[in-house]
Amino acid sequence: MRAYNRMLIALTAAAITFAGCEKKELPLRTEKPIAPHKTDTPKARNAVWAQSEFVLSTFFALPGSGDTAVYRKILTQTKEAGINLVELTFLSRLALIPALDVAEAQGVKTLAQDLASFSGFQTTVPSFTEDTVINNVSWLNNYNMLEGYYVWDEPFTTTLTQAKTLRDYFKAHDPSRLAFSVMLPSYGPYIWSDSTFPRYVDSYVSTIDPEVVSFDYYPFRENLTSTTLITNDLWKDFGYIRKKALQASKPLWFYFQAVGMQPGQISIMNLERIRVQMYAALSYGVKGLSYYTSHQALIEDGTYDKTPMFNDLKALNTAVKNVGNYLFGKQAEQLYHTGVSSTNRTRYYLDNLSSSALINTAPNDLIIGVFGDAGTTKYLMITNKDFSTAKSGTITLKSAKKVSEFNKSANTTSVLSTSTTSITISIPPGEAALYIIE
């Protein structure tokens, strides 16, 4: 199957369909848009944007109706679920303005996209000049909750230069906000077999020089019950892009799959399949995660009520953000998948566990991300990449260490042993554990 790309969401917003199913949305407003929300203290434009906390975002939250009551209901529940950044994607200007207004009133950070004016999509280039960017920055600066501009969604190699130009215009005239873009996955036009994908990633990073290195990959896009993450090409993309982000000293963000993507099929997405992607990404050292999408994962289609998974995902979001913020200032170091072949270790751009100065042995089917700080303390973010079976066993260390465990839900740490060479683990399907080694 070729890449499932975001054109489906574009068609959703325009034609009021989602994944091939009829939507029950209000028609697009035709009245004059309300004026942008005014604040007494617009965000200072002379500051330089820098990420200050772990980001848990969503790509598609709001339909294209422009109905403020609907937006208020959706964003209230989205914020309750723990989302701290909403990407206002594939909305017309008529719908974008009330979406920004409601988000401002709700205290929800946003990324603004406007495909007609200042956002590109794959090979579609918006009509822009430096003056049009200045004009857009001027009116958007009234929104204090605006975190940044969605500059380009999945640019192709043919549009990297335009994406760079547009990004540079935004940074020249509003350095205080993020100029965001996201890469394509390797099941799109650029693939591994002919080396076009790594060349694409290299060109994207070097040409655009993004403030964050972000990409998407949806491993359950074909809705197959046989899909496994024990071995999966997701890790090939993730490993290579992680390496490039570390080399460039850029934060790494990742879009994970939260909804089914096959028209007319029942989604096989569940809590375990969602959380394994989120926790695995944390083991890889991401500083930001984004739902693809909160629509239908957190919020029901049509009624905009909470889905049956809402409370479970809310609890998961809390735990994920606690881990993300705990590791936020830590440096990603080694990355291991236990039990993989040497061939896959190379394909996935992994470190060799046998060369670890810290870990001696570990059970199979784990992802172990090792993080460091300014001192000698190490942090092991361990994910069970099997989302159907719990993993139990013992991780043995090369020498005796003080070992503590981070409680993801309570945001606390507790000492397991003041001196030990072993850590006993029991990790549910798709779950994770974080240990502090001193």
* pLDDT per residue as tens digits for the range 340-396: 999 999 999 999 999 999 999 999 999 999 999 999 999 999 999 999 999 999 999
Q: Kindly state the average pLDDT of the residues 268-284.
A: 98
- Domain shared by 383 and 302, yes or no: no
Q: Kindly state the average pLDDT of the residues 210-234.
A: 97
CB atoms within 10 A of CB 199: 12
Q: Is residue 24 over pLDDT 90?
A: no
What DSSP character marks residue 319?
A: H
Residue 433 CA to residue 438 CA, distance in Å, equals: 16
Q: Is residue 18 over pLDDT 80?
A: no
- Domain shared by 352 and 272, yes or no: no
- Domain shared by 271 and 287, yes or no: yes
- Domain shared by 341 and 417, yes or no: yes
Residue 345 CA to residue 401 CA, distance in Å, equals: 27
- Domain shared by 192 and 295, yes or no: yes
**pLDDT for 264:** 80
pTM of the full structure: 0.91
Which residues lie below 8 Å from residue 188, measured CB to CB, with a gap of 6+? Answer: 2, 3, 5, 154
Interval 39-49: pLDDT, tens: 444 455 568 99
- Domain shared by 359 and 407, yes or no: yes
Residue pair 172/131 in contact (Cβ under 8 Å)? The answer is no
**Of 307, 326, 345, which closes a domain?**
326
Domain assignment present for residue 45? The answer is: no
With residue 207 as reference, give the H or E element that holds it: helix 196-208
**pLDDT for 141:** 94
Parent domain of 393: 331-437
Backbone dihedral region for residue 109 (phi beyond 0: left; psi -120 to 50: alpha; all else: beta) = beta
**pLDDT for 263:** 84
Domain assignment present for residue 416? The answer is: yes
Q: Kindly state the average pLDDT of the residues 412-436.
A: 98
- Domain shared by 12 and 160, yes or no: yes
- Domain shared by 275 and 227, yes or no: yes
Whole-number mean pLDDT of the chain?
A: 91
**pLDDT for 232:** 98
Spell out a b/e string for 326-358, using b for 16 or more CB atoms within 10 Å of the CB, else e: bbeebebebbbbbebeeebbebbbbeebeebeb
Number of H helices, E strands in the chain: 10, 18
What percentage of the chain exceeds 70 in pLDDT? 89
- Domain shared by 270 and 355, yes or no: no
Q: Kindly state the average pLDDT of the residues 240-266.
A: 95
**Of 309, 326, 343, which closes a domain?**
326
Interval 125-179: pLDDT, tens: 999 999 999 999 999 999 999 999 999 999 999 999 999 999 999 999 999 999 9
Q: Is residue 32 over pLDDT 90?
A: no
Domain assignment present for residue 91? The answer is: yes
Q: Is residue 428 over pLDDT 90?
A: yes
- Domain shared by 58 and 141, yes or no: yes
Residue pair 75/61 in contact (Cβ under 8 Å)? The answer is yes
Domain assignment present for residue 349? The answer is: yes
Domain assignment present for residue 379? The answer is: yes
The number of distinct structural domains making up the chain is: 2
Q: Kindly state the average pLDDT of the residues 211-236.
A: 97
Domain assignment present for residue 34? The answer is: no
Q: Kindly state the average pLDDT of the residues 278-305.
A: 97
**pLDDT for 181:** 98
Domain assignment present for residue 42? The answer is: no
* CATH number for the domain that contains residue 210: 3.20.20.80
Domain assignment present for residue 109? The answer is: yes
**Of 300, 326, 352, which closes a domain?**
326
- Domain shared by 251 and 396, yes or no: no
**pLDDT for 46:** 64
**pLDDT for 31:** 30
Q: Is residue 11 over pLDDT 50?
A: no
- Domain shared by 344 and 234, yes or no: no
**pLDDT for 169:** 98
Binning pLDDT at 50, 70 and 90, where does residue 197 land?
very high
* CATH number for the domain that contains residue 415: 2.60.40.1180
Residue 179 CA to residue 212 CA, distance in Å, equals: 9
